[in-house]
Structure 1
Amino acid sequence: MTPKKIISIVSIAVISGLIIYGFVLITQIFSKNTSFDKQEIYVHIPTDATYEQVLDSMALYVTNLNRFEMVASKMNYPENVKSGRFLLTNGMNSYELVKAMRYNVPVKLAFNNQERVENLAGRVGSQIEADSVSLLKAFKDSVFLKENGFTEENILAMFIPNTYEVYWNTSAVKFRDKMIKEYRNFWTSERIAQAEKQGFTPTEATILASIVHKESVKKDERPRIAGVYLNRLRLGMPLQADPTVIFAKKKKDNDFDQVIKRVFYNDLFLNSPYNTYKVIGLPPGPIAMPDITALEAVLNPEKHDFIYFCASVDRFGYHEFAATLQEHTVNAKKYSNWINAQGVKR
């Protein structure tokens, strides 16, 4: 065999080897490499996670971890690990998986109906990386509170119930700072003027809105209830709001999981700054997180002469309103008889 033929044979062998290697490589890169049954899943990579931690997480979702590692190495992923929330789709190949681990997918974070900032911290902490302890510490930071005109008692007023887009790995401080921006965006000059018209700061308006929110689930009735409380405040009357008594009882017992459906006469004498039967004016902070309809009800209350109201027995969820104590006594007696008949003890 001549040298020329030997060189030709070797060249063909090398080229064939490269073709085979290229085919194997392409197969490894572009063939399916997912092992989960769902259409899609999210992988959460903690802040400052190492590449080894990523591999531990990916091992749960890929068919061939070595194949993923090979492609990740070719794409310089081990040196560029990102923390966050990443979307994997069933059927992805290794190349697509590595690409997906570079795109941090935001969380649609939602909260409402929280009675205390502690509850809010728990609710938010269940949706992002920051835990409830770090969130609560950020919310109650004394420097932050002083700079923004809040106290530990009224900081819940800063949070506007809504759905927000945030990254899963958002820190507690960054989340808090985002919320104060959202608060300022909500309290436009127009809304601040509406609050001032009622004699309130935004925080005071939120405190009253929290009572209105708790008084009625009927959004169309809330402006009328707000009007009642504003009439009482103008007359120098105590608000006498049952939800504040319920809040005071829960706070005294340090048990916000208990369900209290009824306020009894003796409860009205509970010593608490939240008991608006004993304390004239607003309580020191919100008794719940009012939604926007309750806030708008306080900013745009119904004008009327009603001073009293109690739950209606004829229109479930609504209330009967009265301008005189005599009218209210009739309504209250009717409701008391009805609730006794239902056997409600607490």
Structure 2
Amino acid sequence: MSLRKAEAVLARFGFDRYMLLLILSVVLATILPARGAGAAILSQLTYWVIALLFFLYGAKLTTATIVAGLTNWRLQLSVLALTFVLFPVLALALKPLSMIWLPAAIGVGFLYIGCMPSTVQSSIAFTAVSRGNVAGAVCAASISNLIGVVLSPLLFAALIPQGTGFGVEPAAIWKIVQQIVLPFALGQVCRPLLAGWLARYRKPVMIVDRGSILMIVYAAFSAGVVNGIWQVMSVGSLAVLVALCLVLLAAVMGAAMLAARMARMDHADMMALLYCGSTKSLATGLPMAGILFAGQDISLIILPLMLFHLAQLAVCAIIAQRMMGRLDVQAAR
């Protein structure tokens, strides 16, 4: 089998080059973790990379698209309800269950998943493949991330139990404002000047975007490897963690489909709700975790989000492929 054919097969199950690079970043951190002076330099570099990442997010976000999509208030409110209400409730329910078999930091990681905003690129792409409401998905995912930059850390701080050894310091909220909110806002201000340049050079911008995430993953897991993450997490523990992630994903997807039917949404809106309401953003979650959990077991805390992200891409890719095939058969009749 050629490399291109192998990539095509993997892509059908949600594993594109980017996801494979994410996995390789964890492998590299396991084999060659950053230590000592190298880790200190990487930490400083990661700080500015995160600021650049959110500046680009702000510059790429089309305000007109959000305003236009707000007219479909039923879809937008449904996505926000799933993302910031149902998800945290389910994560709270799974947190004590996960702590029966897994380290306490993993339970914190489940709660962290529940507080994250929706994905942007993948939820829009899956909506398009499934012949869904792409404009509505763009709006829903963008609004989710716009709100999530502020709401997610506050929601997590409100839900995390006191006295557990994990938590959010008030200083961390201010760091998020400095490192994420301000660059994002500056990107929005600069958008009129940068929109044309960003449209012309999409590939370099995408490389910076995804390369930043890979660097954050490598830095986080390097710290975890140095602190003995793989001595704490066995193969059996990873299997339990993956199973819990799939349970969480299935519960939210089921709720999304039920909500769409109860609201009598058409197929297009139903697909947008399914993908935007049941997915969580790695691109927002990893940088924010680096600020919120500085000095804590960050690699263990973000591990559930990493695995959930992989699971959601694989499951959504399978659903989107089957949905496209079903619609093609119906159109041919």
Instruction: State whether TM-score is above 0.5.
Output: no
More helix by share: 2
> Which protein has the larger Cα radius of gyration, Structure 1 or Structure 2?
1
Which structure has more RCO (C-alpha within 8 Å, separation ≥ 6)? 2
Q: TM-score, normalised by structure 1?
A: 0.19
> Which is richer in strand?
1
